[in-house]
Amino acid sequence: AQSVTQLGSHVSVSEGALVLLRCNYSSSVPPYLFWYVQYPNQGLQLLLKYTTGATLVKGINGFEAEFKKSETSFHLTKPSAHMSDAAEYFCAVSLGNAGGTSYGKLTFGQGTILTVHP
């Protein structure tokens, strides 16, 4: 079984400031971890993912996330926020290679709405 918790349903930053969106997970086997972004009235778009290998992963639009097994975290960061980053962000977890028939089935967090002020 797996679950994911996003800390903070709303995050507000100034343009040019650091963006930090928090995600913690639990998983019975080594997980796959994903961040999706959703712009208003759009579907979810994959931002980045961790499956195996390097724990720091880079995604689109300058975002990156670091898998920290000891902290069961996968926080999303961007050094400098842009107005176009305003959106809702979803963290998701799935069971990795040992997940059997649930291999890769996603469980989503509650979402974090990012607001960027000029």
Partner 1 sequence: ETGVTQTPRHLVMGMTNKKSLKCEQHLGHNAMYWYKQSAKKPLELMFVYSLEERVENNSVPSRFSPECPNSSHLFLHLHTLQPEDSALYLCASSQDLPGPYGYTFGSGTRLTVV
Residue of 61, 104, 115, 117 that binds partner 1 (CB under 8 A): 104
Closest to partner 1 by CB, 57 or 81: 57
CA–CA distance, 23 with 86 (Å, rounded to integer): 18
CA distances from 109 to 34, 36, 54, 65, 82 (A): 10, 10, 23, 16, 24
Smallest gap from residue 84 Cβ to partner 1 (A): 18
Tokens representing 99? Answer: 């997940």
CA–CA distance, 31 with 41 (Å, rounded to integer): 29
Smallest gap from residue 111 Cβ to partner 1 (A): 7
Q: Which residues bind partner 1 (CB under 8 A)?
A: 32, 34, 36, 41-46, 49, 51-52, 90, 92, 94, 96-97, 101, 103-106, 108-111
